[in-house]
Chains A and B, each alone.
Chain A
Amino acid sequence: MSQTATMTGTAPASSKSLEDGPRGERPKPFFTPKKIIIYTTLVFFSLYFLFPLYVMLVTSFKTMPEIRFGNIFALPNQINFDAWHRAWTSACTGLTCNGLSPGFWNSVKITIPSTIVSIFIAAVNGYALVNWRFRGSEIFFSILIFGSFIPYQVMLYPLVMITRELGIFGTLPGIIVIHTIFGMPILTLLFRNYFASLPQELFKAARVDGAGFWRIFFEIMLPMSLPIFVVALILQITGIWNDFLFGVVFAGTQNLPMTVQLNNIVNSAQGTPEYNVNMAATVLTGLVPLIIYFVSGKLFVRGVAAGAVKG
Chain B
Amino acid sequence: MQHSVSIRDLSLNFGSVKVLEHLNLDIAQGEFIVLLGPSGCGKSTLLNCIAGLLDVSDGQIFISGKNVTWEEPKDRGIGMVFQSYALYPQMSVERNLSFGLRVAGMPKDEINRRVARAAEILQIQPLLNRKPANLSGGQRQRVAIGRALVRDVDVFLFDEPLSNLDAKLRSDLRVEIKRLHQRLKNTMIYVTHDQIEALTLADRIAIMKSGVIQQLADPHTIYNKPVNLYVAGFIGSPSMNFLNGTIDGTTFTADDGTVMPINAYEFSSPVTGSRKAVLGVRPEHILLGEAAQAMPFKTEAEIEIVEPMGSETLAWTKVAGVPVTFRCSSDIPLAAGDKVTVGFDIARGSLFDAQTENRL
Nearest CB of chain A from residue B52's CB, rounded to whole Å: 8
Q: Does B133 lie within 8 Å of A206, measured CB to CB? A: no
Partner of B103, one of A209, A223, A224: A209
Partner of B51, one of A208, A215, A219: A208
Interface magnitude class on chain A: 10 to 19
Task: Please give, as numbers and ranges, the residues of chain B lying within 8 Å of A205 by CB-CB distance.
Answer: 80, 82, 86-88, 144, 147
Given that A204-B53, A204-B82, A205-B82 are known contacts, is A210 also in contact with B89, CB under 8 Å in the complex? no
Task: Please give, as numbers and ranges, the residues of chain A lying within 8 Å of B32 by CB-CB distance.
Answer: none
Which chain B residue shows the least CB distance to A211?
B103
Task: Please give, as numbers and ranges, the residues of chain A lying within 8 Å of B147 by CB-CB distance.
Answer: 205, 209
Q: Does B103 lie within 8 Å of A220, measured CB to CB? A: no
Q: Does A199 lie within 8 Å of B103, measured CB to CB? A: no
Partner of A208, one of B53, B88, B133: B53
Given that A210-B103, A210-B104, A215-B103 are known contacts, is A204 also in contact with B90, CB under 8 Å in the complex? no
Within 8 A of B (CB), among A207-250: 207-211, 215, 219-220, 223-224
B74 adjacent to chain A (CB < 8 Å): yes
Which chain B residue shows the least CB distance to A198?
B89
Q: Does A208 lie within 8 Å of B73, measured CB to CB? A: yes
Within 8 A of A (CB), among B68-120: 72-74, 78-80, 82-90, 99-100, 103-104
Q: Does A311 lie within 8 Å of B89, measured CB to CB? A: yes
Q: Does B104 lie within 8 Å of A201, measured CB to CB? A: no
Nearest CB of chain B from residue A218's CB, rounded to whole Å: 12
Q: Does A220 lie within 8 Å of B88, measured CB to CB? A: yes
Q: Which of B51, B86, B100, B104 has the most CB of A within 10 A?
A: B86
Nearest CB of chain B from residue A311's CB, rounded to whole Å: 5
Nearest CB of chain B from residue A283's CB, rounded to whole Å: 40
Nearest CB of chain B from residue A302's CB, rounded to whole Å: 16
Partner of B74, one of A201, A207, A220, A311: A207
Q: Does A206 lie within 8 Å of B88, measured CB to CB? A: yes
A311 to B151, CA, bound (A): 23
Nearest CB of chain A from residue B316's CB, rounded to whole Å: 41
Is the contact region of chain A dominated by helix, strand, or loop, or is it mixed?
helix
B343 adjacent to chain A (CB < 8 Å): no
A219 to B74, CA, bound (A): 17
Q: Which of B84, B89, B132 has the most CB of A within 10 A?
A: B89
A209 to B79, CA, bound (A): 8
Partner of B85, one of A209, A219, A309, A311: A311
Task: Please give, as numbers and ranges, the residues of chain B lying within 8 Å of A42 by CB-CB distance.
Answer: none
A310 adjacent to chain B (CB < 8 Å): yes
Task: Please give, as numbers and ranges, the residues of chain A lying within 8 Å of B144 by CB-CB distance.
Answer: 205
Task: Please give, as numbers and ranges, the residues of chain B lying within 8 Å of A219 by CB-CB distance.
Answer: 88, 99
Partner of B133, one of A210, A211, A310: A310
Partner of B100, one of A199, A201, A209, A310: A209
Partner of A224, one of B52, B80, B90, B100: B90
Given that A208-B80, A211-B103 are known contacts, is A223 also in contact with B90, CB under 8 Å in the complex? yes
Nearest CB of chain A from residue B210's CB, rounded to whole Å: 23
Within 8 A of A (CB), among B119-151: 132-133, 144, 147, 151
A202 adjacent to chain B (CB < 8 Å): yes
Q: Does B103 lie within 8 Å of A311, measured CB to CB? A: no
Task: Please give, as numbers and ranges, the residues of chain A lying within 8 Å of B87 by CB-CB distance.
Answer: 205, 311
Q: Does B100 lie within 8 Å of A210, measured CB to CB? A: yes
Given that A223-B90, A311-B84 are known contacts, is A211 also in contact with B99, CB under 8 Å in the complex? yes
Q: Does B88 lie within 8 Å of A202, measured CB to CB? A: yes
Q: Does A208 lie within 8 Å of B99, measured CB to CB? A: no
Nearest CB of chain B from residue A49's CB, rounded to whole Å: 39
Nearest CB of chain B from residue A211's CB, rounded to whole Å: 5
A130 to B80, CA, bound (A): 21
Task: Please give, as numbers and ranges, the residues of chain B lying within 8 Å of A207 by CB-CB distance.
Answer: 52-53, 72-74
Task: Please give, as numbers and ranges, the residues of chain B lying within 8 Å of A199 by CB-CB distance.
Answer: 84, 86
Task: Please give, as numbers and ranges, the residues of chain A lying within 8 Å of B48 by CB-CB distance.
Answer: 204
Task: Please give, as numbers and ranges, the residues of chain B lying within 8 Å of A210 by CB-CB distance.
Answer: 72-74, 100, 103-104
Q: Does B78 lie within 8 Å of A208, measured CB to CB? A: yes
Task: Please give, as numbers and ranges, the residues of chain A lying within 8 Å of B72 by CB-CB distance.
Answer: 207, 210
Contact with B along A280-311 (1 / 0, CB 8 A): 00000000000000000000000000000111
Partner of A209, one of B83, B84, B90, B99: B99
24 A-B contact pairs sorted by A residue (CB < 8 Å): A199-B84, A201-B82, A201-B85, A201-B159, A204-B82, A205-B86, A205-B87, A205-B88, A205-B144, A205-B147, A207-B53, A207-B72, A207-B73, A207-B74, A208-B79, A209-B99, A209-B147, A210-B73, A210-B100, A210-B104, A220-B88, A223-B89, A223-B90, A311-B133
**Chain A interfacial positions (CB closer than 8 Å to B):** 199, 201-202, 204-211, 215, 219-220, 223-224, 309-311
Can you add 19 more A-B contacts, CB < 8 Å, to A205-B80, A210-B100, A210-B104? A201-B83, A201-B86, A202-B86, A204-B53, A204-B82, A205-B86, A205-B88, A206-B88, A207-B52, A207-B72, A207-B74, A208-B73, A208-B74, A209-B74, A209-B100, A223-B89, A310-B89, A311-B86, A311-B132
